[in-house]
Amino acid sequence: MIEFAAATKTYPNGTLAVANATLRVAAGEFVTLLGPSGCGKSTLLRMAAGLTPPTTGRVAAPWLAETRSKEAQDDSATLGFVFQEPTLLPWANVWKNVYLPLRLAGVRRRDARERVDAVLAMVGLSEFSRAYPRELSGGMKMRASVARALVTRPQAMLLDEPFAALDEITRNRIDDDLLALWRGQRWAALFVTHSVFESIYLSTRVLVMSPRPGRIVEEIVVDLPQPRTPAVRSTARFAELCGQASAALARSMAA
């Protein structure tokens, strides 16, 4: 689905943000990039989305123009992107915000109604479709943002520390809902976070990154059973994996 082959990103000011990244995300996988702030996680995600090209190396994904074959140039080659901030348009209500990707794809309001309503129900915002973003709590804004990413029925979801600004209780709840959506729809997920617990709880695989320059230093396969419930958080295996990830993170910082 997503493939990085020795991708490097150097910014015009000479900063090496991502060095020699090679990774693969297969369909239906939930992969997390775990690392401290400023380690190039976001840059990696932005390269995957096509928002910024790699300086050297190659990034391939169905939605990237360079690697997209002619016959694949249809609706199926879509991705959903969830930013760090909710990035809702303040002048539009929740319904119109979620409708936006379809509108940009040329889907008329009438034809989009069912899909928008369905995705709003999935994230639990049906009653708030007429509300404006400023009237929502932080968690609800993020839910709306997730709904907007899901409305195009993407093959892959890229999430850039989406819930970092939320309190822990709200974040755990949204994480559970996100997992439920992933189980139901099975998009490939590339999730960026600096929280060890969140990365282990959500993922099938965790890639630990080191800072300056950002490189992928370790891989942890998460063999916790599916579907995951909050009870998983109190199992010994969960604690063990978190310990492994924390140690890997510490090693990457020391290196």
Binding site for other proteins (CB under 8 A): 49-51, 79, 81, 83, 85, 87, 89-93, 100-101, 103-105, 132-134
CB contact set of 224 (below 8 Å; sequence gap of 6+): 200, 232, 235, 237, 238, 241
Cβ neighbours of 143 (radius 10 Å):
25
Distance CA 241, CA 223 (A): 9
Torsional sign, CA 187, 77, 106, 110: negative
State the minimum distance, in angstroms, from the CB of residue 152 to other proteins. Answer: 8
Structure tokens at 205: 């695989």
Torsion angles phi and psi, residue 9, rounded to 5: -125, 120
Name which of 90 and 225 has its Cβ closer to other proteins.
90
C-alpha dihedral, 127 to 133 to 137 to 143, nearest 10°: 70
Name which of 12 and 91 has its Cβ closer to other proteins.
91
Distance CA 49, CA 27 (A): 16
State the minimum distance, in angstroms, from the CB of residue 57 to other proteins. Answer: 21
State the minimum distance, in angstroms, from the CB of residue 237 to other proteins. Answer: 37
Buried b (16+ CB within 10 A) or exposed e, 1-30: bbbbeebbbeeeeeebbbbbbebebeeebb
State the minimum distance, in angstroms, from the CB of residue 81 to other proteins. Answer: 5
Bond from prior residue into 36 cis (ω within 30 degrees of 0): no
State the minimum distance, in angstroms, from the CB of residue 104 to other proteins. Answer: 4
Q: Are 40 and 9 in contact (CB under 8 A)?
A: yes
State the minimum distance, in angstroms, from the CB of residue 93 to other proteins. Answer: 8
Name which of 101 and 214 has its Cβ closer to other proteins.
101
Name which of 85 and 176 has its Cβ closer to other proteins.
85
Name which of 12 and 90 has its Cβ closer to other proteins.
90
Name which of 12 and 184 has its Cβ closer to other proteins.
12
State the minimum distance, in angstroms, from the CB of residue 56 to other proteins. Answer: 23
Name which of 101 and 213 has its Cβ closer to other proteins.
101
